[in-house]
Structure 1
Amino acid sequence: MNTADFIFQKTTKTVEKATYTWQTPSNIALVKYWGKSEPQLPKNASISFTLNNCHTTTTIEFERKVNQEKSISFELFFEGKKKDEFKPKIAKFFERILEYCPYISEYNMTIHSENSFPHSSGIASSASGMAAIAMCLISLEKELTPNLPEDFYTQKASFLARLGSGSASRSIEGPLVVWGKHPDIEGSSDLFGVKFPYKVHPVFEDYQDSILLVDKGEKQVSSTVGHNLMYNHPYAEQRFKQANENLQKLSVILQEGSIKDFINLVESEALTLHAMMLTSNPYFILMKPNTLEIINKIWEFRAQTNSNICFTLDAGANVHVLYPKAEKQRVDDFINTELLKFCQKNHYICDNTGVGAQAL
């Protein structure tokens, strides 16, 4: 597939009015993507667990314009309140995709969106949010052009979501999604995410992710700014090479069930992501003191109990605690007795791998 394949084919069918609602998940990258080129193309391939409980629910109401004025027109409500400050990012997204979805200029759109988790706190809210909008647009496109293969709509939804937020390309399907062209991943592409194409060892099925909310506030540095700082980063090229090598290794680990190797690679990836932030110019720190307290407690617990618990981090202070489902009770007890005190208001989210976007 190339970008031209996703350009909307004219149709004689019209839809005067329609409403679609989608629930789309966040995701947590195991091999991180940090650094991109225009238009939203990754400098290295990445792979993520699709989450289940951390999701965005979005409804878009489409009403065909009477005067057929060709312009993008929408209102945005987030968690019941009009959010004009969110509109520039959505408007930029619509401008980017207009070539591929020209029909959006023919409608007045009203967007209602809400999250099951704190916005802008490093749980990939832009990923789930942009994926939800993309799924609503694709629902309209399916009505306008109903005879295309189902996998085309899935790929185009991921393609569109990517143009809003790179990691959103990984929030359409699940439970493991690869984004970025990689020689060891069949069907992989820089243009859209694809499901991990190989059989996963049972130990990695229904994997658990307890997200410890160290800081529910908005990040000091946005992911967009962070990505841009990779352009002149002294270690950028080596990092991109390392990430692609780690994805090759992780592909084997996921198939063979080498859980100790999984722990080592995933934690190393998380720390490397933040090392890129620490060594960029300007430099910045998204981890908080309690982030480090939790990491050290996890290391101590693992050494004492031989548990398969590990952590990863996104571009924020919160800690994703990963572990097999068989250890859920033991890890829950550990979190409640040892880690909750490091969370803001003792809050954490119990999550697990999920299947991707769902129509409501």
Structure 2
Amino acid sequence: MISVNDFIPSKYSNSVDQGIFQWSAPSNIALVKYWGKKENQIPANPSVSFTLNNCKTNTKLAFAKKADRNYFSFDLLFEGQPKEDFKPKIQKFFERVEIYLPFLKEYHFTIDTENTFPHSSGIASSASGMAALAMNLMSLEKALNPLMTDDYFYQKASLLARLGSGSACRSIKGQVVVWGTHQNITGSSNLFGVEFPNTIHENFTDYQDTILLVDKGEKQVSSTVGHELMHDHPFAERRFAQAHENLDKLITIFKTGDLEEFIKVVESEALTLHAMMMTSMPYFILMKPNTLEIINAIWKFRKATKIPVCFTLDAGANVHVLYPNKDKEKVLQFIQNELVGYCQNGQYLCDQIGNGAALI
């Protein structure tokens, strides 16, 4: 069994003075939700997600050796401009991963990052951002250790990303990624995300995700605070067991292509996530009135047309509309006709299942 100690390097065979790498990494949308975590970003339950394709972060990492190796040294640019308020998160990330990347204090880094989706659009960029940064750092480590295997490279990148933002570990690979140990999924791990190893029916290979931007404001409660609320939650243990059960159901669903059962699991998971927030102490209602209007409209449309469109939610008000590619034209028409009015400034993003991080 792989342990964290397997990712602590002993020494490097190469020396690198300076250079530049550039990676993109996508966002992802969980089907079975991760909500609640243990020490060191270990999930309280396993999760599975669709890796997205269009909503991604592009990050360029320039690095150069420096004389004083007693501190972390980096500049952070967001869309070409200095972004001081992001720096504490990167500092904390470097502190967490230094044991795995002992060269970090040897270099000054310039991190230049941008998103393909609008900033403050209500789409979480921590997953794509941390995944892209992790890939760049792994490219530098591979330059220092050229004999590194691809398996090690991607597993460690996912482990590093997890230490920046839990769900970021699911943004390294595609198209369906599992994070968290599950007895019926070979190779699953709490330490990093893995590509779903079982059969995936053709129904799911080109799935679409249209993201309706109901509320683009700052999140009412941070994910970190939300996860912590699970520690004393009266329904936590049952929820963690339910996640395992729903993942078992998805193993069968992915194999058979059963869209009706897929919808039941995915929508139930979304509503359960929000139910956990509503029943925590303190409690939060993260949906907005327009979120509920959209959900009811989707249910009505699905019942009337028999088109297998469904929704899922993150820990916020925005709605991810999921549907097979073969129904794209009709669903987009439905969104234009009936759902756009519930979006802030009529905004929505069209995305689809994708293949994970890519070297630029």
TM-score bracket, shorter-length normalisation? over 0.9
Q: Is the 8 A contact 1:21 1:60 kept in 2?
A: yes
Whole-angstrom distance in 1 between the partners of 2:118 and 2:45? 28
Aligned residues with identical type, % of pairs: 62
Whole-angstrom distance in 1 between the partners of 2:343 and 2:291? 9
> How big is the shift at 1:68?
3.9
Which amino acid letter does the alignment assign opposite residue 149 of structure 1?
Answer: T
Partner of 1:33: 34
Residue 198 of structure 2 is aligned to residue 190 of structure 1 = no
The CA deviation string for residues 305-341 of structure 1, in whole angstroms up to 9 with x for no partner, is: 0110000001111100000000000001000000000
Q: Is the 8 A contact 1:120 1:219 kept in 2?
A: no
- Aligned positions, number: 359
Relative to structure 1, the CA distance from residue 129 to residue 210 in structure 2 (aligned partners, 3 Å threshold; closer, same or farther) is same
The CA deviation string for residues 102-129 of structure 1, in whole angstroms up to 9 with x for no partner, is: 1111000111111122446553311101
Whole-angstrom distance in 1 between the partners of 2:318 and 2:59? 24
Whole-angstrom distance in 1 between the partners of 2:91 and 2:226? 21
Q: Is the 8 A contact 1:121 1:219 kept in 2?
A: no
> How big is the shift at 1:148?
1.7
Partner of 1:181: 181
Whole-angstrom distance in 1 between the partners of 2:297 and 2:13? 62
Partner of 1:343: 343
Q: Is the 8 A contact 2:23 2:358 kept in 1?
A: yes
Whole-angstrom distance in 1 between the partners of 2:232 and 2:162? 23
The CA deviation string for residues 62-98 of structure 1, in whole angstroms up to 9 with x for no partner, is: 1110x24232111111122211111111111110000
> How big is the shift at 1:357?
0.1
3-state SS of paired residue (1:96):
helix
Q: TM-score, normalised by structure 2?
A: 0.98
The CA deviation string for residues 243-273 of structure 1, in whole angstroms up to 9 with x for no partner, is: 1111011111011111100001100000000
Residue 244 of structure 2 is aligned to residue 255 of structure 1 = no
Whole-angstrom distance in 2 between the partners of 1:176 and 1:94? 28
Whole-angstrom distance in 2 between the partners of 1:299 and 1:18? 52
Whole-angstrom distance in 2 between the partners of 1:216 and 1:20? 31
3-state SS of paired residue (1:230):
coil
3-state SS of paired residue (1:23):
strand
Partner of 2:222: 222
Whole-angstrom distance in 1 between the partners of 2:306 and 2:215? 29
Whole-angstrom distance in 2 between the partners of 1:348 and 1:197? 32
Q: TM-score, normalised by structure 1?
A: 0.98
3-state SS of paired residue (1:39):
helix
Partner of 2:48: 47
Partner of 1:24: 25
> How big is the shift at 1:201?
0.5
> How big is the shift at 1:12?
4.1
Q: Is the 8 A contact 1:175 1:355 kept in 2?
A: yes
Which amino acid letter does the alignment assign opposite residue 268 of structure 2?
Answer: S
Which amino acid letter does the alignment assign opposite residue 211 of structure 2?
Answer: I
The CA deviation string for residues 138-176 of structure 1, in whole angstroms up to 9 with x for no partner, is: 000010001021110000000000001110000000000
Q: Is the 8 A contact 2:122 2:217 kept in 1?
A: no
Which amino acid letter does the alignment assign opposite residue 223 of structure 2?
Answer: S
Residue 303 of structure 2 is aligned to residue 303 of structure 1 = yes
Whole-angstrom distance in 1 between the partners of 2:171 and 2:196? 13
Deviates more, 1:223-232 or 1:68-77: 68-77
Unmatched tracts of structure 2, length 5 or more: none
Residue 258 of structure 2 is aligned to residue 246 of structure 1 = no
Partner of 1:317: 317
Whole-angstrom distance in 2 between the partners of 1:204 and 1:146? 36
Q: Is the 8 A contact 1:119 1:218 kept in 2?
A: no
The CA deviation string for residues 50-71 of structure 1, in whole angstroms up to 9 with x for no partner, is: 0000001111111110x24232
Which amino acid letter does the alignment assign opposite residue 3 of structure 2?
Answer: N
Whole-angstrom distance in 2 between the partners of 1:349 and 1:9? 45
Whole-angstrom distance in 2 between the partners of 1:38 and 1:121? 30
- Aligned-residue CA RMSD (Å): 1.0
> How big is the shift at 1:133?
0.6
Deviates more, 1:121-130 or 1:316-325: 121-130
Relative to structure 1, the CA distance from residue 236 to residue 120 in structure 2 (aligned partners, 3 Å threshold; closer, same or farther) is farther
Q: Is the 8 A contact 2:122 2:213 kept in 1?
A: no
Which amino acid letter does the alignment assign opposite residue 85 of structure 2?
Answer: E
Residue 84 of structure 2 is aligned to residue 84 of structure 1 = yes
Which amino acid letter does the alignment assign opposite residue 13 of structure 1?
Answer: N
3-state SS of paired residue (1:177):
strand
Unmatched tracts of structure 1, length 5 or more: none
3-state SS of paired residue (2:160):
helix
Whole-angstrom distance in 2 between the partners of 1:234 and 1:120? 33
